[in-house]
Amino acid sequence: MIRLERFTPADFNQLIEWINSERLMKEWSGSLFSFPLTEESLAWYIEGANDLRDPDVFVYKAVDTKTDETVGHISLGSISQRDKSGRVTRVLVGNECARGKGVCRRMVQGLLRIGFEELGLHRISLGVYDFNEAAIKCYLKAGFKREGVMRDVVRHGDTYWTLVEMAILEDEWRALHPAPESAPATDNQPSA
């Protein structure tokens, strides 16, 4: 199981250790950060994050509940109260031992639960580079649908990367995660 907890300054060094190449930095953050990742840039990143009164971005670490070890990082940003939408902005299974074991899917499902059930969003989107087949499979398993492709959207070295746009809607989430039915009334319980 995975538990999402607030990402705080105490978690900075772990994320800095995981983001150990310029390519991984670009895959994880697009152009938001420059390599190498620093404590100063992460302080800016979480400034005002996780504020339920005025939500704009929620930033989490993913903790393995069996070992209590931090295994990943995930965030939900671009939150629009007017449009009831948000965007998964960063996903990383940082602990290499945890990759390929469903950690990404559980992280994403935890974030979707927060977005749909706690924040009342209607739509959550994301963008993923087309060469990241493992991530695309993870997002499809979590219920996302492919919506389109943005060709050659990012340049890295001498190559261009293409972005696959994906999203999931509230009703699609609810179909995959129906609310538990209430227990039927018995002789010992009053009925409504």
pLDDT of residue 188: 43
pLDDT of residue 97: 65
* DSSP string for the chain: -EEEEE--GGGHHHHHHH--SHHHHHHHHTTSS-SSP-HHHHHHHHTTTT-TTS-S-EEEEEEETTTTEEEEEEEEEEEETTTTEEEEEEEEE--GGGTTTTHHHHHHHHHHHIIIIIS--SEEEEEEETT-HHHHHHHHHTT-EEEEEEEEEEEETTEEEEEEEEEEEHHHHHHHSPPPPPPPP-TTS---
Structure tokens at 34: 């420059």
pLDDT of residue 31: 79
Domain ranges of the chain: 2-175
Domain at 2-175: CATH architecture: 3-Layer(aba) Sandwich (3.40)
pLDDT of residue 16: 95
pLDDT of residue 187: 45
As averages over each run of 10 residues, the pLDDT of the chain (192 residues) reads 95 95 89 90 90 84 94 95 95 77 91 95 97 95 97 94 97 89 47 42
Mean pLDDT of the chain: 89
Structure tokens at 118: 């706690």
- Other Cβ atoms less than 10 A from the Cβ of 70: the count is 20
Task: For 13-30, write each residue's pLDDT tens digit.
Answer: 999 999 999 999 999 888
